[in-house]
């Protein structure tokens, strides 16, 4: 799906530098930074809803298939 320049800019989140408010070493966020990440996560979920649902359906189908097979034919889990 094509994204606008504004959407691309909002998606630029630096998580690698030590000074970033989004660093994985940061335990708490300012309200503004939290809201920005929340909006980005919501956008990503809504934008990829069909792919997420398909992945869930595939996982459920595989689980059902694995539980319906006799133990000797079941695939070993990783």
Contact (Cβ atoms closer than 8 angstroms) between residue 45 and residue 52: yes
Q: Give the H or E element holding residue 59.
A: helix 49-68
Q: Considering the domain boundaries, does residue 23 fall inside one?
A: yes
Q: Considering the domain boundaries, does residue 76 fall inside one?
A: no
User: Which one has a higher pLDDT value, 5 or 78?
Assistant: 5
Query: Tens of pLDDT along 14-52?
Result: 777 777 777 766 567 889 988 988 999 999 999 999 999
Q: Considering the domain boundaries, does residue 44 fall inside one?
A: yes
Q: Considering the domain boundaries, does residue 73 fall inside one?
A: no
Q: Considering the domain boundaries, does residue 78 fall inside one?
A: no
Q: Considering the domain boundaries, does residue 77 fall inside one?
A: no
Count of structural domains, the chain: 1
pLDDT bin (cut points 50, 70, 90) of residue 74 is low
The torsion angle over the Cα atoms of residues 12, 15, 20 and 23, rounded to 10 degrees, is: 150
Domain span at residue 12? 5-66
């Amino acid at each position: 799906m094509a994204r606008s320049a504004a959407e691309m800019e909002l998606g630029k989140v630096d998580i690698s530098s030590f000074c970033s408010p989004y660093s994985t070493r940061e335990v708490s966020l300012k309200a503004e930074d939290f809201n920005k990440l929340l909006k980005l996560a919501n956008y990503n979920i809504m934008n990829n809803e069909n792919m997420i649902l398909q992945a869930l359906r595939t996982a459920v189908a595989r689980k059902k298939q694995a539980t319906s097979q006799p133990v000797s034919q079941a695939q070993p889990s990783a």
